[in-house]
Amino acid sequence: MRVRELAEWLGATYEGDGEKEIAGVASIEQAGADELTFAAGRRADRQVEQSAAGCLLVAPDFPNPGGRTAIRVADPRAAFARAIRRLRPETPPPPGIHPSSVVAPDSTIGEDVSIGPRCVVGRGVSIGAGSRLHANVTIYDDVDVGERCVLHAGCVLGADGFGFSMVEGRWEKFPQIGRVSIGNDVEIGANSCVDRATLGVTWIGEGSKLDNMVHIAHNCRIGRHVAIAAQTGFAGGCVVEDYAVIGGQVGVGDKVRIESRAVLGSGAGVLTSKIVRAGQVMWGTPARPLKEYLEQLANLARLPELRKQVADIKKRLDKLEG
């Protein structure tokens, strides 16, 4: 594909050699003379100077890349993702059920659904059109999966929530009789688990993306277009509103509410029943506003020097008293 053709397809402008052929894509460090890459972030200027890429996707205000061929776009990373799909289109799996998989006869499987090897689909399950199950996915009974969903290898939907009551010195299981409902265009990473509700529904909204090894406990409600990074766990009854972003290795206690467009930084810990307000950026354990967290980190860094100063003052006082 020529540079000018790609720019036109992206709805963007280009500068440099519009007839240059682009054969592939690569990172800015590895791209060659016939490959496309993108430049964004604080180190972009230096990376562009050192890159051998044939064409660069850059922001409208990016400095002129020294006669290099470039396409100017509002969001270089997003445009690069689109270009990858055009230049390196994914081969969709053939629709159908792999012979090694087990699908309950009363499940409803939509058109063009692909179910990979060794999957198990339980009774009363509904899988929407165009969805894809990779190998070893397990869907328990009474789970609804929307259209165009992607379930990666080993993920489990509809396992029992962690509900027990202490009765006469022994844990007694509280029956988990609810459901799981997954909206359209949801992607769930490898070895992630979404537990069924104790009563009612555990719900994941349209367009949300879960990374690998994410745990969603019983009766959680995850809104639309929420992004959750790897190794994050939600305890029961949490609510995450639309467009929230949750970093990796975040721990969220029971009945927490995370409002729309809030951000939880990696490794944060949110205490039970906490409310994270809309648009807040929180970090640390317990989670607190980012500015406060950074101030506390700075103070911690000063502690060794402060200890040294206190020890020096003590020595002087001891001499005076002596």
Catalytic residues: 218
Distance CA 279, CA 260 (A): 6
Which residues, at least 6 apart from 9, have a Cβ–Cβ distance to it below 8 Å?
A: 86
Peptide bond between residue 304 and the one before it cis (omega within 30 degrees of 0): no
DSSP string, 220-240: -EE-TT-EE-TT-EE-TT-EE
Neighbour tally for 196: CB within 10 Å = 24
Pairing of strands 201-204, 179-182: parallel
Distance CA 272, CA 287 (A): 11
**DSSP one-letter code for 310:** H
Distance CA 261, CA 283 (A): 15
Using DSSP, state whether 186 is helix, strand or coil.
coil
Distance CA 126, CA 43 (A): 47
Using DSSP, state whether 46 is helix, strand or coil.
helix
Distance CA 241, CA 245 (A): 10
Tell me which residue has tokens 């409803």. Answer: 108
Pairing of strands 35-38, 275-276: unpaired
